[in-house]
Amino acid sequence: MKKYTDKTLSPSERAEDLLKRMTLEEKVGQMLQVSYNALNPVDYERYKKRGIGSFLHALGKERDDIRKKSAKTRLGIPPLLGIDAIHGHALLNGATVFPSQLAMSCSFNRALLFETARATALEVAADGLDWTFSPVLCIARDLRWGRVNETFGEDSYLVGELGKAVITGYEYDGNIIACAKHYIAYGEATGGRDAYDSPVTERKIREVFLPPFKKAVEAGCGSVMTAYGSIDALPLTANKRMLTEILKDELGFDGFVVTDWENVKSLVHKQRAAKDIKDASYLAVEAGNDMSMNTHSFYKYVLELVREGKISKERIDDSVRRILKAKFRIGLFDDKERPDKSVIGCENHRKLNLAIARESMVLLKNDGVLPLKDNVKKIAVVGPNADSIRAQFGDWTFFSHPLPSAIAKPRGEYHTVLDGMREVFGGDKIIFEKGCDIFGHGGGIEKAVDAAKRADAVVCVIGDCLAQNGEYRDRANIDLTDPQTELVSRLCDTGKKVIAVLVNCKPLCIGMLKERCAAVIETFNGGAMGGLAAAELIAGRFNPSGKLSISFPQTSAQMPCYYNHYHGWHGGQYVDLKKDSVYTFGDGLSYTEYAYSNLKLSKKTACKDDVIEVSVDVKNKGGMDGKETVMLFVNDVVSSVLTPVIELKGFRKVFIKAGETKRVTIKLNIDDLAIIKSDCTREVESGDFEIMVGANTRTYLKTVLKVK
């Protein structure tokens, strides 16, 4: 028996044995990934027969053909088949479409996120695939960026915690590999310009952008994707400091690094940092990329570079070892038994989807109109997103990828907000008028106003659409579009209670909704069950518990407006704007009220390697059971480099019955209070730290911790 076929050996031992048997061509082949969408048929056939490391976006017959042909190659090394299962295995029509990452982050529920990832992995594996390009660990601080919807929001700690939960979920059953992306500081590009330069220093990277990737590495994440952009003018694809010295050597990442789509080619054609693809291939490999996504001539040039002695054989072996280990880890060489196809879009996943959709919704305003009373007779449901499953799904589903489709119809169960309202309140109570489109008036506003006049309450579903979000679709202005603004204000003019429901990919400027509507609900992209969850929330069938993971500016010019900014701005606000954002990180109401008291630290003075307990009593003072996310913030009173005015360092979501008081304890690792100094070293500086525990960034109890 060949050693690499021996299941009793570890992935490393098996990879080592296989590596010894491989030719240089076979090795370099492992370092290439191709997408069948981006190839001419002749090339594509060639790659299938020759055998390469990975294919992406191959579904159905394509996937089967690839498997069959690669099995016939000399060593029969199976390819890793990758897919963007970003919020569910949603490129496959019929699979479960969970809410977007941004929506799910508002649940602050690690356990539920873990479950959604596990469910996604089952569906991906059942569909014959092995690798998801998820989660996104980018931090969304400039809302102009087209990809805000893909993130867990604006806070590094939250991104890291949820990222860890999701990675663990994806890889839990050993079926698939996760991919933490996009490494690094991709969302921080100037002006929110996708794939552009992020003018950040290494110090800033270590403070804000690296910690989530560190957690990903600690969680055992199998792969990391190199970002498109550059850091202070050095493209990530060619950035040895970031990829090799920091990610692999310092953090000890032992998975493999894949470039993003055609990054190698981009070094030449977009970034102009290499004279030709050969030069770019050299830079990419030397920087630490192990696999090139979709620059096909990378294969030929890397072979040449090794033969010319410019890239060492050891460097190639290191990449191939990493890739093979991933394949052994998920049993690709062992005729593994995949989950049954019946898990795809199954009932359990539907239930889970509804559970996470409920917890992801954020009730931002309620003047008492919600929950709608049982005796409500007629409800006008209006707005361009009331019956738009495309808008509700958001980016990265079969509607948009791998190729956009204008005609696709969802195969699985789904509920728009209109569907949900009909189901929850009864069809005869609902009058539907679209009112307007996202971009055009469409002549419907009068009809919507008429409907509102005939109703006791108005549910107005507005937001944005795919054309305003995603790659290549950054926005300079994040206002609600004019027709929608006009629709809402005409509805409010009727004097009826208007409940605004936002179905949108990212925060918009919604000051007008806050001012004029009776209630505001943020759903972001709620996935297949989002519409039902929104209607249930309106009916009071569950108690909302979502809180914002991202802040909402008053105007586009107020960006960035993230909550954890530094001290030191003269005046602290623009002279022509109010101080605060419209809504900020942590905001979110429920149908009950929580009172915090009795904040205690297990130690008032701690050493730098201590873990202390921070506890507080939380009383549910209202009449409805609910879940509350208790947040722990800190403020480093004096520090040798600037630190945020307030910053999240812990949270726990707890269920509290009406009338009940729970003692909630959150562990605080004193090491998490470390700052990154100007020379990039990390240190917990002695001194006072304010510890704040409460519902959000404005409502909390405070005490002081001394660190020696």
Enumerate the active-site residues: 260
Q: b or e along 88-108 (b: 16 or more beta carbons within 10 Å of the residue's beta carbon)?
A: bbbbbbbbbbbbbbbbbbbbb
- In three-state secondary structure terms, 499 is strand
Query: With contact defined as beta carbons under 8 Å apart, do 548 and 587 qualify?
Result: yes
Least separation in angstroms between residue 311's CB and ligand BGC is 25
Q: Is 471 in the site for ligand BGC (CB under 6 A)?
A: yes
**Token output for 145:** 């960026």
Site string for ligand BGC, 286-315 (x = CB under 6 A): ------------------------------
Q: What Cα–Cα distance (Å) separates residue 466 from each residue in 96, 141, 194, 599?
A: 19, 20, 16, 45
Instruction: Specify the amino acid at residue 681.
Output: T
CA 509, 515, 516, 521 torsion: positive or negative? positive
Q: Is 473 in the site for ligand BGC (CB under 6 A)?
A: no
Instruction: Give me the helices (H) in 517-574, please.
Output: 530-539
Query: With contact defined as beta carbons under 8 Å apart, do 66 and 47 qualify?
Result: no
Task: Output 181 or 329, the one with its CB closest to ligand BGC.
Answer: 181
Report helix, strand and coil shares of the chain as percent, to nearest 5: 35, 20, 45
Q: What is the DSSP letter of 243?
A: I
Neighbours of 488 (CB within 10 A): 25
Least separation in angstroms between residue 102's CB and ligand BGC is 15
Gap between the Cα atoms of 86 and 122, Å rounded: 14
> How buried is residue 409: exposed, middle or buried, by Cβ count under 10 Å (0-12/13-18/19+)?
exposed
Query: With contact defined as beta carbons under 8 Å apart, do 528 and 90 qualify?
Result: no
Task: Output 229 or 526, the one with its CB closest to ligand BGC.
Answer: 229
Task: Output 395 or 536, the one with its CB closest to ligand BGC.
Answer: 395
Least separation in angstroms between residue 262's CB and ligand BGC is 8
**Which residues, numbered 204-263, are part of the site for ligand BGC (CB under 6 A)?**
260-261
Q: What Cα–Cα distance (Å) separates residue 399 from each residue in 394, 403, 490, 550, 620?
A: 9, 8, 32, 26, 42
Gap between the Cα atoms of 56 and 81, Å rounded: 6
Task: Output 472 or 569, the one with its CB closest to ligand BGC.
Answer: 472
Task: Output 172 or 261, the one with its CB closest to ligand BGC.
Answer: 261
Site string for ligand BGC, 149-188 (x = CB under 6 A): --------------------------------x-------
Gap between the Cα atoms of 690 and 701, Å rounded: 10
Site string for ligand BGC, 44-73 (x = CB under 6 A): ------------x-----------------
Least separation in angstroms between residue 229's CB and ligand BGC is 10
Least separation in angstroms between residue 261's CB and ligand BGC is 4
Applying CB under 6 A, what is the total number of residues that bind ligand BGC? 7
Task: Output 222 or 384, the one with its CB closest to ligand BGC.
Answer: 222
Q: Is 193 in the site for ligand BGC (CB under 6 A)?
A: no
Least separation in angstroms between residue 186's CB and ligand BGC is 8
Least separation in angstroms between residue 648's CB and ligand BGC is 26
Taking CB positions, which residue lies at the least distance from ligand BGC?
A: 133
Task: Output 84 or 290, the one with its CB closest to ligand BGC.
Answer: 84
Residue 230, C-beta contacts closer than 8 angstroms, at least 6 positions apart:
196, 197, 198, 236, 239, 271, 273
Q: What is the DSSP letter of 613?
A: E
- The binder of ligand BGC chosen from 4, 47, 55, 133 (CB under 6 A): 133
From 622, 603, 629, select the one nearest 614 (Cα to Cα).
603
From 50, 44, 56, 43, select the one nearest 69 (Cα to Cα).
50
Task: Output 138 or 528, the one with its CB closest to ligand BGC.
Answer: 138
Task: Output 471 or 593, the one with its CB closest to ligand BGC.
Answer: 471
Site string for ligand BGC, 350-369 (x = CB under 6 A): --------------------
Least separation in angstroms between residue 289's CB and ligand BGC is 14
Instruction: Specify the amino acid at residue 606.
Output: A
Neighbours of 563 (CB within 10 A): 24
**Which residues, numbered 259-278, are part of the site for ligand BGC (CB under 6 A)?**
260-261
Q: Using DSSP, how many helices (H) and how many strands (E) does the chain show?
A: 21, 27
* Helix axes of 110-126 and 156-171: crossing angle, nearest 10 degrees: 40
Least separation in angstroms between residue 133's CB and ligand BGC is 3
- The binder of ligand BGC chosen from 84, 130, 155, 419 (CB under 6 A): 84
Least separation in angstroms between residue 182's CB and ligand BGC is 6
Q: What is the enclosing helix (H) or strand (E) of 198?
A: strand 197-198
Gap between the Cα atoms of 25 and 303, Å rounded: 7
Gap between the Cα atoms of 636 and 671, Å rounded: 13
Residue 135: is the preceding peptide bond cis (ω within 30°)?
yes
**Token output for 160:** 């890291």
Gap between the Cα atoms of 675 and 658, Å rounded: 40
From 641, 660, 649, select the one nearest 700 (Cα to Cα).
649
Least separation in angstroms between residue 473's CB and ligand BGC is 12
Task: Output 236 or 550, the one with its CB closest to ligand BGC.
Answer: 236
The contact set with ligand BGC (CB under 6 A) reads: 56, 84, 133, 181, 260-261, 471
